[in-house]
Amino acid sequence: MFLGHYGIAFGSKRVVPDTSLGTLAFATQFLDELWPILLLFGIEQVRIVPGATLGNPLVFTSYPFSHSLAMAVLWGAIIGAIHYAARRNRRTACVIALVVISHWILDFPVHTADLPLWPGGSTRVGLGLWNSIPATLILELGIFGGGLMLYIRQTRTRDRIGTWGLWSMVLVLLLIFASGYVTPPPPSPGAVAWTALGLWLFVPWSYWVDRHRERI
């Protein structure tokens, strides 16, 4: 799952309108923002197997600390607690925690049975929707489009940056998503990790866009 996570970030703005889109983008993609760091340090592993699924050439050999259900819940609780300590808003902190956890929930239908339930556990789950490109496109684009629509209805632009900053980010996200189907598999796990670190760029980009939009 890629686009769908950002759909959750956009849509969550309706639930917590005073929270920046940047915070929500950080929360929804935190597991994937953490994963390449752990990959570079050799704590987690991935293999590149062209044709592993129709939608993804990666075989996630081990990623218990970034992508197990138990750790997703723990990371959500930690990030929610940090936000509560900073803002003293229990409701917003709970929503942010749930947004972090939503990453694992959205990964579950698309991944093959490689998502661990807890670190060290042998049980792995996933419905394998990546083996159907049409189903993957419907799910990803549906969640992304629905969340974006909610965000647009919840906010309005203050200036031109609020318009073209948003739509340029949407375009880049769509291009990254589409590139996964037309570009060759990455040459190495290291290349995967360094490329995935680019997800961090969407956090300040989302903050920047949101500062140039206001609640309706």
| Confidence band for 54, pLDDT divided at 50, 70 and 90 | confident
pTM of the model: 0.96
Which tens digit of pLDDT belongs to each residue from 177-215?
999 898 999 999 999 999 999 999 999 999 999 999 999
Residue 116 has pLDDT above 90, yes or no: yes
* Residues of the domain holding 98: 3-215
pLDDT digits over 73-112, tens only? 999 999 999 999 999 999 999 999 999 999 999 999 999 9
Cα 78 from chain centroid? 17
* % of residues, the chain, pLDDT over 70: 100
The count of domains in the chain is: 1
The pLDDT value recorded for residue 189 is: 96
CA gap 201, 19 in Å, rounded: 19
Angle at the Cα of 128 from the Cα atoms of 96 and 46, rounded to 5 degrees: 75
Cβ(90)–Cβ(69) under 8 Å?
no
What pLDDT score was predicted for residue 97? 98
Q: Is the pLDDT of residue 55 over 90?
A: no
Q: Which residues contact 210 (CB under 8 A, 6 or more apart)?
A: 20, 21, 22, 155
